[in-house]
Each structure stands twice: as structure tokens, then as C-alpha cells.
Amino acid sequence: MARNGDLTGEVHYPSQDIIRQANQPDYDRINQAMINDLAGEWGRIAKEEFEWFEPWQTTLDSSNAPFYKWFVGGKTNIVYNALDRHLDTWRRNKVALLWEGENYDQRTYTYHQLHREVCRFSSVLRAMGVRKGDRVTIYMGRIPELMISMLACAKIGAVHSVVYGGFSVEALHGRIEDSQSKVAITADGAWLRGNVVQLKDIMDEALQRAPTVQTVIVVKRTGQPVHMEPGRDLWYTDLMNLPIAAADCFTEVMDAEDPLFLLYTSGTTGKPKAIMHTHGGYMVGVATTLKWVFDLKDEDTWWCAADPGWITGHSYIVYGPLLLGATGLLYEGAPNHPFPDRWWDIAERHGITVLYTAPTAIRGLMRFGDAWPNRHDLSRLRLLGSVGEPINPEAWRWYHRVIGNGNCPIMDTWWQTETGHFMITPLPSTPLKPGSATKPFPGVQVDVLDEDGNPVGPNEEGYLVIKTPWPGMLRTIYGDPDRYVQQYWSRFPGMYMTGDSARRDEDGYIWVIGRVDDVIKVSGYRLGTAEIESALVSHPSVAEAAVIGVPDEVRGSVIYAYCILRAGVEPTQKLVEILRDHVGHEVGPIAKPTTIEFVNSLPKTRSGKIMRRVLKARALGLPEGDLSTLEE
């Protein structure tokens, strides 16, 4: 690719070496080919790169849009492609997973070993009556059994619903109940900063509120005594030592459009919703994006430092790397435990070549200074990545200069739980501008629109929309197809509404600004105002609550809550602490408000909607703007 000297602003060009070795060196060519024939190109990739038990008849079926279907009639199983097919190749003895515990425990699984564990656990689940289409809730820390559980479900056609191990009772309960899971898989506890997170206790409390679950399988990780409910709770190791844990276990033949997993995420209003992804399209999209954007090769050691309990982990810790036959690392604990160089120590010892993390982590580690990373040999790194929120140029430059030694391009990937895989992102050959996710992935067409649906001019802010279907797109909201249509496809008919605002500069580069709805990103974690508000009002002293996000230097945003107390309740500092802990207990520690302010009223529109814009202005001491719609 020729050096384009005409780009505006701060531009970082990739070296010729980087371009030469890239799996997909020519953005313009492939992008044009995909725009010309989207179904044709994806069909070609799906056929060349994956195994199908039976071919599909229609690559993309738009006849019932927005309920798009991909690879219609095709039969496959994502686990067949992620594990089984590697066993007859040299990759059988390649390391699939490197795992490091927070206490420096180490485990390594080759493809052979990982496949065997997955088969044995699949056999256990089958023997317990789990069948194709059944939902299974998984709630664990970052341990190999989390991945094994997900893969074991998918192998037998069960639909996993992973709940992030940092969530707590009510968040877990709501997700179990909505998915109607009969089986839950958890652990006794998880290590975090040297402390035990009591996962089993939280599960027990959640299950008191959700009686659908008949069986709980418990992995022993932290070893403290836990309650085991007779007739309901079973130890994972006990089951795996029974003859039912057979190592030969057939992989269920799945329709390309059969559900693979549910993942709950926060949206505009109300309860978290279950985003549904499928075996076929998700598989093709996730593996292809990973291959082109992070250029994964057999000699790489990939580290996606996210949590498997969020979409980033589903796509790029669990499925993507295994589909490519890559070696990936999973680390259990906190980035700065026991010292601020823990991550750099891991990167050096395991010889990480490609590292993918979030701006909040970069900013957090940047604060400890350059000396911590500088005492480690990070020279194996060749590409870096960022995801979860816009990366501020200062953090970008630090990441580039100190971690990447000035020669690792940074792939700033914009995407969502709903999109399944990267949507706006550089490829290694793309000239980079710090803070911009650059351009749409090949074949993806986006736009930035004003209130009336007209494209805005260069550098103007507007609604970010996607104009074309893509293979890994969510298929629906589980159990609520109307909400799927209403939430994503109604604001601008025929287009997918992302919920983000963005601007596009004169070079066509996209700069994502942030959410325009009631979603708050705290340390990159996606939380809904509604979930936190309902936790606050579930406390007997709170009559009404409104929550907003306010900017924070490290975490991106933090939670600011306004509460109206019930008559007679004293607004004390002690109550602030009680309410913060209550939110921590119901939703999870990440959802705890940093500030709680007691007020006598909340600004609402005449139709009763809380005017968060006004609250935000108040919290930040800014002008409150147009108040004409405020109720009397």
C-alpha cells in the first residue's frame, strides 16, 4: 500500500514489514470486493476456512429483515471447527491455552488435552439430561473450566449464558430467570487481589430467588468451605471422575442459525436483554476479523486480557483463537497484583506477541509510571489492541511508545455485544490516528446521521449506524423479538442503530464519541442506568433514584446517583455507604456509585422521563440548557 501523505492530523504509518506479513494486506481491494458482493465474499471465506457437515443453500437471506439469516441450511458446529478439526493436524500437540492463576498457578492445555476435557464434560452434561437448545448459566472467575464449560455446552448444542463473575445476586438471578436455565455451573470462589470472591454464596442466594435450576455443578478453585445443597449441588471433579465422563463424545450437528449463546447486556431501558448469537455466522465473523485485524499466525502467542464473561472474551478469548488454531493466554487475576508490573511480567514470561486490552487498563497501568514495564523484555510484542471505549490520545501514545516500543501498531477496535465481532477497526496496514477506530471492517458500511436521518458533514457529531448486515450480527433478543426490532432497527428504518455517537473526519476516519442512550461504560464494563436504579429503589430507604455517568480519568466514567429518600429517612453519610454496598451486593462491585446525592425531586419531562442531561449538567456544574420540556 502506498504511503498516503495526504491524511490530516497525527498519523502513524505502518512499516513495510508489518504490511508485508499481514494476513490481509490490502484493505481497499478486499473492502471493494465485499461491498460489490457481500454474500459472495463471505460465502467464499466460509467455504474455504471452515468445515461444514452440509453446505448451505443461501449465504445471506434478507427476506425477513431485520431478522437476517446467514448460511441458511448449512450444518456445522462451532466447536467442531474450534477443536475437533485440529486433532488430525499437527496442531493436536500445539498449546491451545496457557493459563496463569493470580497466585502463579500454571496450567497448559494442548488442543488434544482441551478437546479431551471438553468431551468429558460434554458427556457429563449429556448424562445429566442437558439437550440441544437447553440453556445453561455459567458463573465463574477466569479459570480454564469456564472455557471448558462454554465449549462443552456448545458441543452438545446447549446454549450457554455466561454471567460475568463480577456481577452479584440480583444481576445473576435476573439472568438465570430470564434464560430459564435448569443447570448452572459455578465455582466455590474466585481469586481477586489475594481475596476470595464468594461465588458459590452469591449463586446460592440468587437461586433462592430463581427456583428453575435443578442442578448446580461447582468447580473447586479457592477451597474454602461452601454450602452444598443435597440433591442439587455436585462437585465438578466428582463428576469428571465418574464413568459418565466419557472421553468420546460426538459433536452435535447444528444448523448454522441455531443459537450458540445468550449474553445479557444493558440497553436503553429496562432489564438487561439477552443478545442471541448463532453457530454459523458468528463463527465465520469472529475468526475472520481476528485473523485479519490481529494478523494471528501459528507462531503467535495471543493475549486478550478481557474476561470471558463479556463479549470480548467470548469472541476473542474463547472462540476466535481456537477457531484459528492459535495459542492464547488466560490470566485469572488483577493487572496490578501483587505489583503494578504483573501484566508486563506475564507478557515477558509467556512471550506474548499480540496483546489486546482496554483503555481503562492502559490508563490505570500508565499511572504507575514507565519503570514497571521498562524492567521487562516486551520485545516479542508486534501488535497491540484496544477495545471498550474511546482511547484518549495520551493513553494511546503511552501504549504505543512504552509497551509497543514505538513499533507496534495499535488496533483500536470498535464493536459491541450485539455485533459479535469487530466492526470499525484498522487492519495492520491501516495508517493510524490516535483516538480513532479508523475505518469500517471490509464490507461493513456505516454512516453518521442527524436527528432526521440525513448524513452529517465531515467532523460533525451524529448517530452512528450500520447500513449492511454482517455474519456475526445478533439474531434477536432472546424471547423478545419485538424489542429487537424496536431497539435496533426502528429509529432509522433499514439501518442498525448502534446507540453511539460519532464523527467522521475529512479522511473518512471514524471517531466514536460515546453512548447516546442510558448505557454507562465504567472501566469498559457496560452497565445500564435502569439496573442500578432498580437496585437503589429495592432498598427500603429509597423512594426514587436516577443514575448518570460522569467522566473519570482512569475508569472512563463513574456512577453518580441521585436518590429521593422515603419520608422520615435521615440522609446520613452512613446511609450513603449502606446504599453503595447494597448496589454492590445486588448488581456487583463495578456498579457501586462513586457519589450518592440525596435530593427532594428529580428533573422529569412531562411524560415522566428523567432528564439525565439536566442531572449530568448539575453534577458537572455546567449550564442546564433548554428546560422547556421540564414538568412543572
Residue 517 in the binding site for ligand WTA (CB under 6 A) = no
Measured between alpha carbons, how far is 614 from 74 in angstroms, rounded to an integer? 51
Task: Provide the grid cell at 581.
Answer: 454496598
DSSP tag of 432: B
Report in angstroms how near the CB of residue 312 gets to ligand WTA at its nearest. 5
Q: Which of 414, 463, 470, 509 binds ligand WTA (CB under 6 A)?
A: 414
Q: Which residue has the cell 449530568?
A: 616
For residue 515, state whether it binds ligand WTA (rule: CB under 6 A). yes
Give CA–CA dist 536/168, Å, rounded: 14
Choice between 146 and 563, CB closer to ligand WTA? 146
Residue 412 within binding range of ligand WTA, rule CB under 6 A: yes
CA distance 376 to 378: 6
Name the residue type at position 267: G
Cβ contacts of residue 176 below 8 Å, gap of 6+?
A: 137, 161, 163, 184, 206, 207, 210, 212, 213
Q: CA nearest 106: which of 144, 139, 138?
A: 144
Q: Give the residues across from 598 on adjacent strands.
A: 563
CA distance readout (Å), 250 to 6, 240, 422: 56, 17, 31
Q: Which of 216, 387, 395, 558 binds ligand WTA (CB under 6 A)?
A: 387
Tell me which residues in 485-504 interact with ligand WTA (CB under 6 A).
498-500
- What's the Rg (C-alpha) of the chain? 24
| Least distance between ligand WTA and beta carbon 311 (Å) | 5
Q: Is 518 in the site for ligand WTA (CB under 6 A)?
A: no
Residue 44 zone, left/alpha/beta (φ > 0; ψ -120 to 50; rest) = alpha
C-beta nearest to ligand WTA: residue: 417
Q: Is 389 in the site for ligand WTA (CB under 6 A)?
A: yes
Instruction: Supply the minimum distance, in Å, between the C-beta of residue 266 and ligand WTA.
Output: 8
Asked if residue 265 binds ligand WTA (CB under 6 A), the reply is: yes
Of 199, 201, 197, 235, the closest CA to residue 215 belongs to 235
Residue 307 binds ligand WTA, judged by CB under 6 A: no
d(CA 190, CA 145): 12
Q: Of residues 101, 259, 272, 390, which one binds ligand WTA by CB under 6 A?
A: 390
Closest separation in Å from C-beta 222 to ligand WTA: 27
Site for ligand WTA contains 526 (CB under 6 A): yes
**Residue of 31, 81, 186, 416 interacting with ligand WTA (CB under 6 A):** 416
The residue among 145 and 412 lying less far from ligand WTA, judged by its C-beta, is 412
Q: Which residues contact 255 (CB under 8 A, 6 or more apart)?
A: 73, 74, 75, 279, 280
Shorter beta-carbon distance to ligand WTA: residue 165 or 390 = 390
442 grid coordinates: 471490509
What is the Cα–Cα distance from 456 to 358, expressed in whole angstroms?
29
Nearest distance in Å: CB 512, ligand WTA: 4
* Least distance to ligand WTA, CB of residue 616, Å: 16
Number of helices and strands (H, E) in the chain? 20, 30
Q: Closer to ligand WTA by CB, 118 or 512: give it.
A: 512
Cell numbers at 380, concatenated: 516479542
Nearer CB in complex with ligand WTA: 191/414 = 414
The piece of 114-122, 182-190, 243-251, 511-519 that touches ligand WTA (CB under 6 A) is 511-519
Residues 6+ apart with CB under 8 A from 99: 105, 106, 107, 108, 109, 143, 144, 329, 330, 331, 332
With CB under 6 A as the contact rule, which of the stretches 68-76, 176-184, 308-316, 321-329 interacts with ligand WTA?
308-316
Stretch that binds ligand WTA, among 127-135, 466-474, 514-522, 535-543 (CB under 6 A): 514-522
Q: How far apart are CA 16 and CA 555, in angstroms?
A: 36
Q: Which one of 96, 136, 239, 512 is in contact with ligand WTA (CB under 6 A)?
A: 512
In this complex, which beta carbon is closest to ligand WTA, that of residue 340 or of residue 390?
390
Residue 402 interacts with ligand WTA (CB under 6 A): yes or no = no
- How many residues sit in the footprint of ligand WTA (CB under 6 A)? 23
Sequence-ordered strand ranges (E) for 358-485 = 383-386, 410-412, 446-449, 461-466, 476-477
Of 312-341, binders to ligand WTA (CB under 6 A) are 312
357 binds ligand WTA (CB under 6 A): no
Partner residues linked to 414 by β-bridges? 424
Can you tell me which residue has the cell 482511547? 391
Q: Does 123 bind ligand WTA (CB under 6 A)?
A: no
Nearer Cβ to ligand WTA (514/584)? 514
Which one of the spans 122-130, 156-164, 335-343, 415-423 is the region binding ligand WTA (CB under 6 A)? 415-423
Residue 549 touching ligand WTA (CB under 6 A): no
Among residues 22, 95, 330, 437, the one that binds ligand WTA under rule CB under 6 A: 437
Q: What is the DSSP string of 274-322?
A: EEEEESHHHHHHHHHHHHHHS---TT-EEEE-S-TTSHHHIIIIIIHHH
Residue with Cβ nearer ligand WTA (215 or 360): 360
Question: Binding of ligand WTA at residue 388 (CB under 6 A)?
Answer: yes
Binding mask of the shown chain, residues 267 to 306, with x at each position contacting ligand WTA by CB under 6 A: ----------------------------------------
- Residues of this chain that interact with ligand WTA (CB under 6 A) are 265, 310-312, 387-390, 412-417, 437, 498-500, 512, 514-515, 521, 526
